[in-house]
Structure 1
Amino acid sequence: MVSKAFSFRLPDAAVQAIESLQLDGETLNQALQRFVLEQLGLSTQTSKSLSTMLYTGADIEELIDKRIEASLGTRLDELRLNFDAQLEELRGKLKAR
């Protein structure tokens, strides 16, 4: 799951409202995340608990590594195709001589 981190401040009244929605063992951030997802119509009732949906630093590093590898792999494939096309073009010119 690709995600983006958000950081913002809430007034005391909003914090108290979120605190009133907290489930047992849920952090304030998890409660807010669950609330926002529910308000957007995106159910948090999946086979994974909400706490496993949150990323740790190691998870984020792994996601970044995978993104970089995928991006480099795609770029290398493009370069290889371009190189092969140029090589064929040069071979054609040499044969024409």
Structure 2
Amino acid sequence: MRFNLVTQPSIQTPGIPGALSLSLTLRPACGILGDYTFPTDSSSLRQLLKNGTDLPDAVVWRFLSDACAKAKARLLGVELSDETLQGIGYFID
């Protein structure tokens, strides 16, 4: 399933020293309801994008750079597998 990913800074303390706390919102790209937001950090998000998508490294690094530098970063139309979605707690019916 394709999702639009949107990050926002989070006030939560990061689990990994040096990692930026983020809130990641998954929004179905097809326009149906089902936004899902969860806390993460920049290091965990990098691993999720590297292991759970087929995005090139350059795209992942640019998105993470934007997430660290801006109030919001967006990545549109990202294909996420059912396994990846279940791993982050998104319910697949």
TM score, norm. by length of structure 1: 0.27
User: Which structure has the larger Rg over C-alpha atoms?
Assistant: 1
More strand by share: 2
The answer to which structure, 1 or 2, has the higher relative contact order (CA under 8 A, 6+ apart) is 2
More helix by share: 1
